[in-house]
Amino acid sequence: MFFVGIDIGKNNHVASMMDDTGKVVFKAFSFPNTSDGGNALFLKLTSYSLNPSDFEIGMEATGHYWLSVYSFLFEKSFLLHVINPDRWMAQGDGNPQTQKRYH
């Protein structure tokens, strides 16, 4: 099992992946918010496993920028989790610099 986190940006996204032992497999894989970028991420992931059920992918719902990569991966049958940043911020003091985002 692999766990992938995607940091969503306007023009580029950045993905990191670890295995089920917590070992970092790759980090800071940057890809553009385009079809070619989605394909680059797909090729990167499938170089580790061709089975989409071997992956859990999480991303933040940043504006509307996450929708294209979400739709692309959803069509390829990956298990996806979308995290609403407003819900996380409501659990803390509201300061993103001191907010614990992962529990």
Contacts of 35 (CB under 8 A, 6+ apart): 72
pLDDT the model gives residue 87: 61
Instruction: For the full predicted model, state whether its pTM sits above 0.95.
Output: no
What is the 8-class DSSP label of residue 67?
Answer: H
CA nearest 101: which of 50, 71, 60, 69? 60
pLDDT means per 10 residues in the chain (103 residues)? 96 97 96 96 97 96 91 97 73 54 46
The pLDDT score that the predictor gives to residue 98 is 53
**What pLDDT was estimated at residue 102?**
47
